[in-house]
Chain A
């Protein structure tokens, strides 16, 4: 073995900003975002990311500093939207502004905006078609672990954590409006988080569907 491990590159040498656009665009789109409408700004950010890629081996956010802790640094690899969903939904853009929410018409208006609105934030988590009827899945929203369930055309969000032994309800089994915990079979009503075990209800969150995207309403406190 060599003494120093080779840099593990995510992209090949010679990757261009056009390559990054092609790679990142479809992923951001699935998360409810699009590239900033200011093409010059996008090119500036992606050019910085290419420089960072060439020196570090991956496309870290140009506006956040790496820690050297690979687990932590994973959270700032572009697009880093999944790790900061609530913050970015409040800002209507990612921290560096490369990506903006699909509903934003003019990304220029958001340049320099860093104040999040007061009150709850509707955070896009996935598209309607990403979750089949009768299924449930886990999503991370900020520090919260949420399970989102689908019953017909209705969507429900509740804490992902079973109150019994902390199992992930997002891996549970749906039966009508109930999810059965994957570990010991406790059952929760996905509409209100209630269970037949006394004092063990779980928190629920309002869900809306807009332009084919499922959004979970989160309290602002982070």
Chain B
């Protein structure tokens, strides 16, 4: 169980596509909630970095559908606001 620490001890990473509306919603939601997170916009990376990032997302989520939000060891695929709130104690 992850403590609701709002970014203090929790690591939050957002894997996104710049073209994806739900990725934008997720990003805005995290920003509006004052959550610190690492953002990786996969489609804007150069080819080598993109290949590596896609491989990472596949490893995490089993696919290449976005957004993918990683909260410590928990992986959320899609803009699942309810689950994000639960994990971050928002």
Is B39 at the interface (CB under 8 A from chain A)? no
A95 in contact with B65 (CB, 8 Å): yes
Interface size on B, residues (CB 8 A): 21
**A41-B21, A111-B25 are contacts. A63–B80 as well, Cβ < 8 Å?**
no
Q: In the bound complex, what is the Cα–Cα distance between A41 and B54 (angstroms)?
A: 26
A97 at the interface (CB under 8 A from B): yes
- What secondary structure prevails in chain A residues at the interface with B? loop
A65-B42, A65-B43 are contacts. A114–B78 as well, Cβ < 8 Å? Answer: yes
Count of chain A residues near B, Cβ 8 A: 19
Which residues on A sit within 8 Å (CB–CB) of B22? 63, 96-97, 111-112
Do A63 and B77 touch across chains, with their CB atoms under 8 A apart?
no
Q: Which of A43-51, A195-203, A208-216 contacts B (4 or more CB under 8 A)?
A: A43-51
Enumerate chain A residues within 8 angstroms of B79, measured Cβ to Cβ.
Answer: 111-112, 114
User: In the assembled complex, how far is the CB of residue A192 from the closest CB belonging to chain B, in whole angstroms?
Assistant: 35
The residue that B21 contacts in the complex, of A44, A65, A114, with Cβ under 8 A, is A44
10 A-B pairs with C-beta separation under 8 A: A41-B21, A62-B21, A63-B17, A63-B23, A63-B66, A64-B17, A65-B17, A65-B64, A65-B66, A95-B78
B57 within 8 A of A: yes
Q: How many Å from the CB of A195 to the closest CB on chain B?
A: 36
Q: For the complex formed, measure the closest distance between the CB of A203 and the CB atoms of chain B, giving whole angstroms.
A: 26
Asked, given contacts A65-B42, A114-B80, A115-B80, whether A97 binds B21 with beta carbons under 8 Å apart, the answer is yes
Question: Does B52 sit at the interface, judged by CB under 8 A?
Answer: no
